[in-house]
Chains A and B, each alone.
Chain A
Amino acid sequence: MVSTAAIAMEEPVREEVEDVVIRFAGDSGDGIQITGGQFTQTTALAGNDLATFPDFPAEIRAPAGTTFGVSAFQIHFGSRDIKTAGDAPDVLVALNPAALKVNLGDLRDGGLIVADTGAFTDRNLKKAGFDENPLDNDSLDNYRVVAIDVSKNTLEAVKDEGLSQKEALRCKNMWTLGLVYWLYDRDRKPTFDWLTGKFKSRPEIANANIAAVNAGHAFGETMEVSDGGVAYTVSAAEIDPGLYRTVTGIEALSWGLIAGSQSTQLDLFFAGYPITPASAVLHTLSRLKEFGVITFQAEDEIAAVCSAIGASYAGNLGVTASSGPGIALKTEAIGLAISVELPLVVINVQRAGPSTGMPTKTEQSDLHQAVYGRNADSPLAVIAAKSPADCFEVAIEAARIATKYMTPVMLLADGYLANASEPWRIPDATAIDASPVSFHTDPDDFHPFLRDETTLSRAWAVPGTPGLEHRIGGIEKSYSTGNISYGPENHQKMTDTRHAKIDGIAKDIPDQTVELGSQGGKMALVGWGSTFGPINRAVQILRADGHDVSHIHIRHIWPLPANLESLLGGYEQILVPEMNTGQLLTVLRSEYLLPAEGVNKVSGQPFKVAEIVDAVRSRLEK
């Protein structure tokens, strides 16, 4: 416990640590996400590698003090390569009893708890389900605890700024941020600059928040923890030279769509219907009208995808985004786009299901929906992003495939990727490979299903082009004229052609590489999507222990890379960790008749590295 008597101290001897996991938690109204965002920014500027995991409730204004109203933000940073948001927090900042109740189980033994005693009132303790105050009994003996009345200290720190009591208490999060800045030797200036900019028109609020940061910091300088030091330092990581920023999956996805529209030289049309956690793409693109982006908030998911198909028909890059339930509604229209062979990018920011499931929690259980989930033989291309920054590349690739092959492309992201952030070496937009689209304009022997011999892609002739007036639709078309055809041989040929076109994309994507480890060996961990981080870190750890384990990460889910079968054939065991009950696993087994096994987790939370490490050990060390 902290001695309440403040003792002036010299600059402490700081313990050097390689990596740290901090979780900020409080009521959804406590400004937790802002606190986490500021800590992230400051930590990025300090040169650490990092990964974040915002975890917030579905309720917009959940009743204060309840466990279901707890909002959390986790950051993992270090002097080494950081691939995940971290398994177990080293530090838990709990701004009320509910935040402690919900998050304590994750904290590592001996971890540090910073608790706001001002919020540990009888009422709040009861709401959180505590019979007695855990700060007053021995229930936290496994941890180190800094119990401090943050509310009172904050009010004291900002009293000269003339704020109302309510406004003053809102600075609580900045007080704790100041304390954590002190714990980990962070520079306060970036936050001051941000506060000054954000509250330009209300300087008293900026000043109060700055005062709160400083007060929290000063408290750190003077506090004593009974069982040892709490001051740490984390050196900068070895990072490739370049210009960096932090980026969330949503930002990278939105900017990637703009980059994709530029590389294909098409105008971008984006239609969406509000759904968690995909709406933010619509919000982001709606603010980028200067790029010529047309955004359309449709009346429902079906109208969103249909308008995107209409825009593609008229010569735009049509894009829609949703999450699983919304994608289900779009399915019939996606079939239309497959049948009329128009480009379309469909983004699925996956969430826990089925049905409404857990909208703010992550999962990757829509892989089968993406690959197989339509009526009839209706293949399309599927690609998946592995990290927030990777969303940028994947969006460009989706636009390339959609337009080059005149096909819908399903882009799989998930709730974790969408909201999480990581440092990103900012690419040069002018250096992105151009893949310009050329519309068909030659009326000689034209019909709308003329095909490119190599790609099997059909001619894209857009309305407005004289001499190419034509009719298309969802009824089967004649291979040789594009007119309606019910011919049995023709339907066989068109079905085969649609398949061959999508299968042929495998020749136009990079060969599958081994992310970490060797070509062949005892075991390969095969993953896709946002499990990249935990799998990669797990393989790092296992290899350091001398295990012959490799990491293969699949970006192109459909068609699969042409060499994947032979590559996987080189391993004695294949393990597929997924946040579902085994969907990529089923695809690999059915495509390659492989005896692969799954490691599956569907808790709404990303994999912990340890869970994967344990799963591998249990197989290798038995």
Chain B
Amino acid sequence: MNVQTPPEKLTAKDYASDQEVRWCPGCGDYAIVRAMQKTLADLQSPPEKTVFVSGIGCAARFPYYMATYGFHTIHGRAASLATGVKLANPDLDVWVISGDGDSLSIGGNHLMHVLRRNVNLQYILFNNEIYGLTKGQYSPTSRLGTRSPSTPLGSVDAPVNPASFALGCGAKFVARSIDSSQKHLPEVFARAHTHQGASFVEVFQNCIVYNDGVYSSFTDKGAAEDNQLIVEHGKPLVFGKERDKGIRLKPGAMELEVVTVGKNGITVGDVLVHDETNKLAATLLVEMARPAFPVAIGVLYCNPSETYDGAVRNQVELAQSKGGKPDLNALMRSGPTWTVD
């Protein structure tokens, strides 16, 4: 009699490839790859059905460190490659790994279209607000005045807000997390994975060499609680060490404000409750900027609709169910023909 051995449970280590990691010591990317390996173990994702597709940049080295299928492609085009992979084989679980330059400069067009099409994949944007691999030029997410080799007097062009861009493109899932948040990050990755459609996750990632501390005002231990708003669906938007600060709609205006519960007659009932299906609320939350506001973290928007790859497959299946067995000979003989004896 054969004894069925239960399939071995995969651990985070099983998702790590044998390749030596080549990021700078202390780079936030180490934490993200660790969180991803934990996520896949939590999900028990079959490694053979998991594909990481990346473009160019520091983040784009990511697939080499995962013991899954991986494709390190060309600058800005990972979303397009990944769209082809998913359309060709919808059974594959596709993750796109990209950075702020790769996604929002050279690849901005493809990011827009993969989101609006709602291709069923996870798009993880590592935002460090700098070009690391090319040695520190300012990026499309760099703040005004960023001094870099190409902007020695400070950058003069306004940055793009990735989450806001994603919402504008029609993304149905928009979330944020932080490289060092090793509990929160796998949870967000898992939510992105569960969501059917294009799931956009912006990860605030520290570049220790060229932009160290760019997020420290809300990621440092002492500052985090007062400067992060971790949103959860159905829960009030409260934050702060004392959990006494909240977000509400400013009376008489289409804008948010920070209030303190227990002051000026404000109660928890006055604070907005997070509804992740509400796009208008998400639009306001992603625009909250320090120092006036905390930075919104978590699943900011999730409102699933039909996936592109699903709809494409449906059309093919419909054509096949209607047309019977496809016959190239019959196709070539359709329309007027004649016989020469």
Residues of A within 8 A of B (CB): 41, 44-45, 47, 190, 194, 239-246, 255, 258-259, 262, 267, 269, 271, 288-294, 296, 298-300, 302-304, 306-316, 318, 332-333, 336, 340, 426-430, 462-475, 483-484
Contact = CB atoms under 8 A, between A and B. Distances in A.
Contacts of A475: 72
A484 B63 CA distance: 12
Contacts of B77: 302-303, 306, 333
Contact of B49 (A245, A309, A464): A464
Interface in B64-95: 64, 66-74, 77, 79-89, 91-92
Interface stretch (B155-163, B211-219, B254-262, B326-334): B326-334
Given A269-B87, A472-B70, A483-B19, A243 B339 contact: yes
A244 B337 CA distance: 5
B85 A44 contact: no
B98 to A, nearest CB: 13
A575 to B, nearest CB: 35
Interface residues of B, number: 59
A467 B48 CA distance: 7
Contact of A463 (B48, B81, B109, B332): B48
A299 B329 CA distance: 33
A474 B337 contact: no
Contact of A44 (B315, B324, B338): B338
Contacts of A255: 328, 331-332
List 3 A-B pairs, minimum CB-CB distance, nearest first: A310-B84, A473-B72, A307-B84
B316 interface: yes
B323 A244 contact: no
B340 A239 contact: yes
A484 B320 contact: no
Contacts of B66: 471
Nearest to A320: B84
A464 B49 CA distance: 5
A241 B341 contact: yes
A289 B329 contact: no
A245 B336 contact: yes
A468 B320 CA distance: 32
Interface of B: 17, 19, 46-49, 51, 53, 63-64, 66-74, 77, 79-89, 91-92, 109-110, 112-113, 312, 315-316, 318-320, 322-324, 326, 328-329, 331-333, 335-341
B328 A429 contact: yes
Contact of B68 (A298, A429, A469): A469
Contacts of B337: 243-245, 426
Nearest to A307: B84
B85 to A, nearest CB: 4
A291 B77 CA distance: 28
Contacts of B312: 294, 296
Contact of A291 (B63, B110, B328): B328
Nearest to A295: B312
A541 to B, nearest CB: 25
B80 A463 contact: no
7 contacts: A45-B338, A255-B332, A290-B326, A303-B83, A306-B81, A310-B88, A311-B88
Nearest to B47: A469
B83 A471 contact: no
A45 B336 contact: yes
A288 B73 contact: no
Given A267-B88, A310-B85, A463-B69, 4 more contacts: A299-B110, A310-B83, A336-B73, A463-B85
A303 B113 contact: yes
A471 B69 contact: yes
A305 to B, nearest CB: 8
A190 B68 CA distance: 60
A290 B323 contact: yes
Contacts of A427: 332
A136 B214 CA distance: 83
B250 to A, nearest CB: 38
Given A292-B326, A311-B88, A463 B72 contact: no
A332 to B, nearest CB: 6
B84 A474 contact: no
Contact of B316 (A292, A310, A464): A292
Contacts of B322: 290
Contacts of A428: 329
Contact of A472 (B72, B324, B329): B72
